[in-house]
């Protein structure tokens, strides 16, 4: 494992200590490039009624560029919800083997969208839906 991979794993471990399946991750666009093909998006969660800034840790855990000027995660692309993209990729990185269903109202697994109406504790294979995303 090289130094960059070790750093990614280190930040993933830190974020696993802060984030759990069912948590809401808030995103805010801080900057859009002139071409519209890149965005700087800020990432927060709310803990004890206070915002907790996670942008730097998220960028490092994903191996993406941290935009120091805007203090946000740089994301390339357009034509889709880039805030959702960040949170989905973060969730997949933190929960690569999936997650346990967190119950009705909190669980956003695509299994439920595709017909699984069981909200009792069971395992979801796609870890990308463990975290929920909201825009600020």
CB under 8 Å to 116, separation ≥6 — which residues?
A: 109
Give 1-55 pLDDT, tens digit per residue.
899 999 999 999 999 999 999 999 999 999 999 999 999 999 999 999 999 999 9
Question: CA–CA separation, 45 vs 136, rounded Å?
Answer: 11
Q: Number of folded domains in the chain? A: 1
Question: How far apart (Å, rounded) are the C-alpha atoms in residues 1 and 47?
Answer: 33
Distance CA(28)–CA(50), nearest Å, equals 16
- Give pTM, 2 decimals: 0.94
Containing domain of residue 110, as a range? 3-135
Q: What is the pLDDT of residues 104-131, one digit of tens each?
A: 988 989 898 888 888 999 999 999 999 9
**Alpha helix positions (H), the chain:** 3-16, 55-62, 82-94, 110-113
Phi, psi of 26 (to 5 degrees): -100, 140
């Amino acid at each position: 494992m090289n130094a960059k991979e070790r750093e990614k794993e280190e930040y993933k471990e830190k974020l696993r200590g802060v984030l759990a399946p069912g948590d809401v991750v808030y995103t805010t666009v801080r900057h859009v490039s002139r071409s519209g093909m890149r965005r700087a998006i800020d990432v927060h969660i709310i803990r004890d009624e206070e915002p907790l800034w996670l942008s730097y840790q998220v960028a490092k855990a994903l191996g993406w560029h941290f935009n120091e000027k805007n203090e946000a995660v740089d994301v390339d692309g357009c034509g889709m919800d880039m805030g959702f993209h960040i949170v989905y990729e973060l969730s997949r990185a933190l929960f690569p083997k999936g997650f346990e269903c967190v119950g009705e109202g909190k669980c956003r697994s695509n299994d439920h969208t595709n017909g699984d109406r069981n909200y009792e504790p069971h395992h979801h294979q796609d870890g990308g839906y463990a975290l929920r995303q909201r825009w600020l």
